[in-house]
Amino acid sequence: MIKNLGARKLSKTGSHRRAMFSNMISSLLMHEKVTTTVPKAKELKRFAEKVITAAKKGNRTSVRSSLRGNRQACEKVLETIAPRYKERNGGYTRILKLGPRRGDATGMALVKLVQ
């Protein structure tokens, strides 16, 4: 019996996926919102939750490796975002569906950090 374990592949190679989500997490943390497709948004939420939780625990190495050397995003998550969610146990992001994209009718979503 086949079980759907793991993450969505999104028709990308592993290295492309890691680089894409690293860039998307950096953008999400810097701007506190990002617009993308619904499947990417659902995967981005998984990665972002892990990075913020690692920052709350003070695990700088894990945060740096997830953000791939983006110093500004790393400092922001460690100094401002992690203390904001000190009392919160998960659920740091919210996905809002925006409707179809004009060119190809792909479902779009807004991923934003919860206040």
* pLDDT tens digits along 23-69: 999 999 999 999 999 999 999 999 999 999 999 999 999 999 999 98
Residue 106 pLDDT: 96
Domain membership flag for residue 3: no
Per-residue pLDDT tens for 9-22?
A: 999 999 999 999 99
pLDDT at residue number 3: 80
Q: Note whether residue 47 is domain-resident.
A: yes
- Residue 72 inside a domain? The answer is yes
The pLDDT tens digits of the residues spanning 69-93 come to 899 999 999 999 999 999 999 999 9
pLDDT at 69: 80
> Tokens 């939780």 belong to which residue?
53
Query: Residue 6 domain-assigned?
Result: no
For the chain, how many structural domains are there in total? Answer: 1
CA distance 10 to 12: 5
CB 71 within 8 A of CB 55: no
Q: Does residue 29 sit within a domain?
A: yes
- The domain that holds 37 is classified in CATH as 3.90.1030.10
